[in-house]
């Protein structure tokens, strides 16, 4: 048995049968506290109930991207699943500038399928309400409310700043009434928009890959919330990775940055196309639980387009909050921390990211295409 130590919250082990087949499994157990902090930081084991619930739901709609679950017990707060040790964490691969040709295709499928099939476009009103009450994950939601939407936007003792980051830049967020009002809108949406069963923490550390396969892991923050929260989490972390490469002068880095931007573009457009196609198929194959027959013609189409535009602007708003919290909040990302011996360089990349976040937060409704968001990222690097 080998303990895996790159997670913070829970115990994780790979257990191998050394006598016989050499088969192995991955075991994860939630103690009633945060593992790395110890027993003086209590946290209920509700997170494992939420993780089990989400793993069951996600593998029912998108089995090819979920580790197979062999055993689960809410009472023991434990889950035993397929060992993915031959796969790498996506964030690590992106930091090493690895090309992953399947990434946008696979992640857009995961997003479209998990978000569509738990939405009111696929579930009856009754089943949707049942899903909401079954997926209550209040303790983890509170952590997100505090650490993503609150502390980074005020001068809070839980924050952690790069000492080289200018106070003017920090103030342009924490002391900017307009930014704070928009963050309040995003926090309110997070708390009050039960659109779909979310993964809840879909950053690039929650995805494991090899060249051929993509797996999504660790849905312990899962709850029924706004679709843009999962999409925004991925987009935020891909742009963070973009800024971590874009300052390099080499042709290789420039090519990699183009691949990253293309991946973000593909991720959104493939998601949109797949979500719309599931929606159209669903309305044709059964009586839609959401809208009746399109008697006037084109009504459904108009509604669908407006809906997806709203998901895009929500995604940008949430992406912004996620980008900011990784810089001003306590939880850092290796994409930037790899430069901690050169805090000035790190501050430069963080400032580019923060400036991008402010723009896509405040003007999120004005963006109708990812191409414009990509252009913004490129312009910020060129300054």
Question: What residue ranges bind ligand ATP (CB under 6 A)?
Answer: 4, 6-10, 12, 26, 28, 67, 81-85, 89, 205, 217-218, 220
Distances (CA, A) of 300 to 274, 295, 304, 351: 16, 10, 6, 42
Which of the listed partners (ligand ATP, Mg ion, none) does 85 bind, with a CB threshold of 5 to 8 Å by partner kind? ligand ATP
Rounded CA-CA distance 78/225 in Å is 25
Distances (CA, A) of 252 to 265, 320, 338: 20, 27, 19
CA atoms within 13 A on the CB side of 294: 11
State in angstroms the smallest separation of the CB of 84 from ligand ATP.
3
State in angstroms the smallest separation of the CB of 25 from ligand ATP.
8
Nearer to ligand ATP, 207 or 356 (CB): 207
Nearer to ligand ATP, 81 or 202 (CB): 81
Nearer to Mg ion, 141 or 260 (CB): 141
Closest to 208 (Cα-Cα) out of 37, 84, 357? 84
Nearer to Mg ion, 218 or 359 (CB): 218
Nearer to ligand ATP, 84 or 376 (CB): 84
| Phi, psi dihedrals of residue 97, rounded to the nearest 5° | 60, 40
State in angstroms the smallest separation of the CB of 16 from Mg ion.
23
Which of the listed partners (ligand ATP, Mg ion, none) does 89 bind, with a CB threshold of 5 to 8 Å by partner kind? ligand ATP
Listing from the earlier edge strand, what are the strands of the sheet with 207-209? 88-89, 207-209, 214-216
Residues that bind Mg ion (CB under 5 A): 9, 218, 220
Which of the listed partners (ligand ATP, Mg ion, none) does 191 bind, with a CB threshold of 5 to 8 Å by partner kind? none
State in angstroms the smallest separation of the CB of 162 from Mg ion.
24
Nearer to ligand ATP, 4 or 276 (CB): 4
Distances (CA, A) of 213 to 79, 98, 103, 137: 22, 14, 9, 29
State in angstroms the smallest separation of the CB of 220 from Mg ion.
5
Which of the listed partners (ligand ATP, Mg ion, none) does 116 bind, with a CB threshold of 5 to 8 Å by partner kind? none
Which of the listed partners (ligand ATP, Mg ion, none) does 167 bind, with a CB threshold of 5 to 8 Å by partner kind? none
State in angstroms the smallest separation of the CB of 23 from Mg ion.
25
Closest to 28 (Cα-Cα) out of 44, 41, 42, 45? 45
Rounded CA-CA distance 339/103 in Å is 26
- Which residue is associated with the tokens 């400036």? 355
State in angstroms the smallest separation of the CB of 8 from Mg ion.
7
Nearer to ligand ATP, 84 or 253 (CB): 84
Which of the listed partners (ligand ATP, Mg ion, none) does 6 bind, with a CB threshold of 5 to 8 Å by partner kind? ligand ATP
Query: Which residue number has the CB closest to ligand ATP?
Result: 7
Rounded CA-CA distance 260/239 in Å is 8
Please answer whether residues 366 and 349 qualify as being in contact, where contact means their C-beta atoms are separated by less than 8 angstroms.
no
């Amino acid at each position: 048995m080998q303990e895996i130590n790159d997670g913070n919250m829970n115990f994780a082990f790979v257990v191998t049968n050394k006598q016989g087949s050499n088969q192995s499994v991955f075991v994860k157990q939630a103690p009633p506290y945060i593992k790395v902090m110890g027993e003086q930081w209590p946290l209920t084991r509700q997170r494992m109930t939420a993780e089990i619930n989400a793993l069951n739901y996600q593998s029912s709609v998108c089995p090819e991207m979920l580790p197979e679950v062999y055993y689960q017990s809410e009472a023991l707060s434990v889950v035993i699943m397929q060992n993915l040790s031959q796969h790498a964490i996506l964030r690590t691969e992106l930091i090493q500038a690895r090309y992953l040709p399947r990434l946008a295709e696979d992640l857009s499928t995961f997003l479209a399928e998990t978000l569509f099939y738990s939405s009111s476009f696929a579930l009856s009103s009754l089943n949707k309400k049942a899903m909401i009450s079954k997926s209550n994950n209040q303790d983890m939601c509170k952590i997100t409310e505090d650490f993503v939407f609150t502390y980074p936007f005020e001068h809070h003792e839980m924050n952690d700043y790069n000492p080289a980051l200018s106070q003017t830049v920090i103030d342009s967020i924490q002391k900017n009434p307009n930014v704070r009002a928009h963050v309040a809108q995003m926090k309110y949406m997070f708390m009050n928009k039960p659109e779909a069963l979310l993964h809840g923490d879909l950053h690039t550390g929650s995805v494991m890959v090899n060249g051929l396969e993509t797996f999504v892991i660790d849905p312990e923050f899962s709850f029924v919330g706004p679709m843009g929260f999962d999409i925004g989490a991925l987009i935020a972390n891909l742009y963070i990775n973009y800024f971590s490469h874009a300052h390099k002068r080499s042709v290789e880095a420039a090519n990699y940055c183009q691949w990253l931007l293309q991946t973000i573009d593909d991720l959104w457009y493939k998601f949109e196309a797949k979500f719309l196609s599931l929606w159209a198929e669903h309305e044709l194959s059964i009586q839609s639980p959401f809208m009746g027959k399109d008697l006037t013609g084109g009504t459904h189409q108009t509604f669908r387009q407006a809906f997806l535009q709203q998901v895009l602007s929500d995604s940008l708003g949430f992406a912004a909050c996620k980008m900011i919290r990784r810089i001003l909040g306590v939880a850092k990302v290796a994409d930037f921390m790899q430069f901690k011996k050169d805090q000035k360089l790190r501050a430069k990349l963080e400032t580019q990211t923060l400036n991008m976040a402010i723009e896509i937060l405040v003007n999120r409704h004005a963006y109708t295409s990812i191409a414009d968001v990509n252009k913004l990222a490129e312009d910020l690097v060129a300054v």
